[in-house]
Structure 1
Amino acid sequence: MAEKRQLMVHHGHMSDMEASLRYSSAPHRREAILRRIELDGYVAAADLVTELGVSPNTVRRDLRRLAGDGLVRAVHGGAAAADMAATPFTDRSVQASAAKRAIAVAAVRHVEPGTAIALDSGTTTLEIAKLLPSRANLTVITHSLPAIAVLAPRPDITLIGVGGQYSRDTRSFGGPETLAGLEHMSVRTLFLAATSLDGTGVYGATPYEAETKRRLIALARRTIVVGDARKFALNAPIRVCGWDAAELLVTDGVPPGFKDVAVELASPTPA
């Protein structure tokens, strides 16, 4: 993330003992956590342990309480703002399903036979996995468990699954092991998903997710962003990249005046 903000509020010259007493109060700790998330959109549990001077168990209890009260959203390794895309993968997969399939149909037209492609994790990229053409001699690299499950039975595809620490929220692998697994790979085309989109670029939900997306962008010769129009109305805390990193956005709609990257509009087929 950008610069780490210090939670401590100094009143004159506060001693270490005074600071410790300040955050030994659960209400004060939770207020401090909420201020940090309000500023940054996300906070790592490990950072809270250091900054608040409390144990990991105390931080976990505070985050569970805040999440239970609906004030934050629990994510891998910490907590995020409650108003961002908090819907579980299984629920997201049925939202705007017609639009996602139409986007996938348009996106697979950009798959070049005989090349390697990378699929980011997400419900729209899962639709792309389902529609990849047969007998195209493709190599597919992905850290998405649902995409791996879809592609594993296909003998016509060389599948490279990248492991790491599994996130149930995204049904994908992430963390240092995933980044290391991607380090020496190269692909022709990356299909990049997003938690949210705006005029400045692509956003993700957590630092792990954002770092994985950036590594995928670095290994691809071209990046195609895929996401339905609802993504422009959602908020996410971590900026993954600007539009200069993408060649194309495939979507079913953009806000008025959006001219930040080439756009291909996909129209859902009426049922």
Structure 2
Amino acid sequence: MAEKRQLMEHYGHMKDTGQRYSDAPDRRAAILRRIELDGYVAATDLVAELGVSANTVRRDLRRLAGDGLVRAVRGGAAATGPAAATPFTDRSAQASDAKGAIAAAAVRHVEPGTAVALDSGTTTLEIAKLLPADAGLTVITHSLPAIAVLAPRPEVTLIGVGGQYGRDTRSFGGPETLAALENVSVRTLFLAATALDGSGVYGATPYEAETKRRLIAVARRTIVVGDARKFGLSAPIRVCGWDAVERLVTDAVPEGFAGVQVEIG
């Protein structure tokens, strides 16, 4: 631990130059700051942000991972520490009444004849069950349980997004999922969260966070849905700040919370 702390302090002393990162310590310090903020960074994003080659980025990530400062994952690097989400079946049984009430409040924001995106999660699954009939909806989702709920409904145009299947979240993620979402457009996104706090929305894994960010990017408005327990939980990867969200639909918020418009379900 002492050695890791010394390495963090070494990189932390490096300053941003505001120019192309030709100096390796400066690059690695910038990478560490990005991962500290977001919990994850894609190698392709670093190539553009740092103005260096893909090979250079890969070498930097290998060095940081070798020093124990980041965790190497497919396509990039993540913060060290726990990365697994609580299994879906366990989460489904938690705060079930609150999730039903939140879902009922959330579906009131669905506009007939529009495209809706459902993030993966137990509360968004409840929304899938309550989507109004005969509203002419198109629903886009990477959540396998939501796909299973909506598949028998002929009045819903269902677009299931595939990729690498995650058994804990019962959803698809990874590069294939991101690519499939690149050319879609939706009116309303219902976004789930592993954890919430005054600064924004958090996810459990790099793939989960990247998928959420892509969904936010293709949606005209984002509505976060989550029960009050999420304010007492923690997760390693920041997905977005409240400035990216139109409203939060929940059952309660901590005293003094003012991050975004709140609707109590």
| TM-score category (smaller protein) | 0.7 to 0.9
Is the 1:104–1:125 contact (alpha carbons within 8 Å) kept by the matching residues of 2? yes
CA distance in 1, matches of 2:41, 2:81: 9
Q: How many Å apart are 1:52 and its aligned residue?
A: 3.5
Describe the SS at the equivalent of 2:172. strand
Change (3 A) 1:100 1:234: same
CA distance in 2, matches of 1:78, 1:7: 17
Q: How many Å apart are 1:89 and its aligned residue?
A: 0.4
Q: How many Å apart are 1:78 and its aligned residue?
A: 8.4
CA distance in 2, matches of 1:79, 1:262: 30
Q: Match of 2:175?
A: 176
Is the 1:85–1:235 contact (alpha carbons within 8 Å) kept by the matching residues of 2? no
Is the 2:85–2:169 contact (alpha carbons within 8 Å) kept by the matching residues of 1? no
Is the 2:202–2:238 contact (alpha carbons within 8 Å) kept by the matching residues of 1? yes
CA distance in 2, matches of 1:50, 1:237: 18
Select which of 35, 48, 52 maps to 2:66: 52
Describe the SS at the equivalent of 2:109. coil
Q: Match of 2:200?
A: 201
Instruction: Please give the per-residue CA displacement for 1:122-164, whole angstroms capped at 9, x wherever unaligned.
Output: 0000000000000000000000000000000000000000000
Describe the SS at the equivalent of 1:100. helix
Q: How many Å apart are 1:87 and its aligned residue?
A: 2.3
Is the 1:7–1:51 contact (alpha carbons within 8 Å) kept by the matching residues of 2? no
Change (3 A) 1:233 1:120: same
Describe the SS at the equivalent of 1:223. strand
**1:256 maps onto 2:232 in alignment:** no
Paired residue type of 2:234: N
Q: How many Å apart are 1:207 and its aligned residue?
A: 1.1
Is the 1:42–1:78 contact (alpha carbons within 8 Å) kept by the matching residues of 2? yes
> How many percent of aligned residue pairs carry the same amino acid?
76
Question: Where do 5+ consecutive residues of structure 2 fail to align?
Answer: 9-31, 43-57, 72-76
The structure number with the bigger radius of gyration is: 1
TM-score (norm 1): 0.71
Paired residue type of 2:99: K
Is the 1:85–1:195 contact (alpha carbons within 8 Å) kept by the matching residues of 2? no
Q: Match of 2:49?
A: none
TM-score (norm 2): 0.72
CA distance in 2, matches of 1:81, 1:168: 20
Describe the SS at the equivalent of 1:99. helix
Q: Match of 2:164?
A: 165
Describe the SS at the equivalent of 1:127. helix
Change (3 A) 1:52 1:7: farther
Question: Where do 5+ consecutive residues of structure 1 fail to align?
Answer: 1-5, 11-35, 54-58, 60-76, 267-271
Q: Match of 1:103?
A: 102
Describe the SS at the equivalent of 1:109. helix
Q: Match of 1:122?
A: 121
Q: Match of 1:91?
A: 90
For these two proteins, the number of residue pairs brought into alignment is 211
CA distance in 1, matches of 2:208, 2:5: 24
CA distance in 2, matches of 1:233, 1:85: 17
**1:233 maps onto 2:247 in alignment:** no
Within 5 Å, give how 1:24-35 maps onto structure 2. Answer: none
Q: Match of 2:243?
A: 244
Q: How many Å apart are 1:51 and its aligned residue?
A: 3.5
Change (3 A) 1:217 1:42: closer
User: Aligned-residue CA RMSD in angstroms?
Assistant: 2.9
CA distance in 2, matches of 1:9, 1:254: 38
Change (3 A) 1:241 1:9: closer
Q: How many Å apart are 1:202 and its aligned residue?
A: 0.4
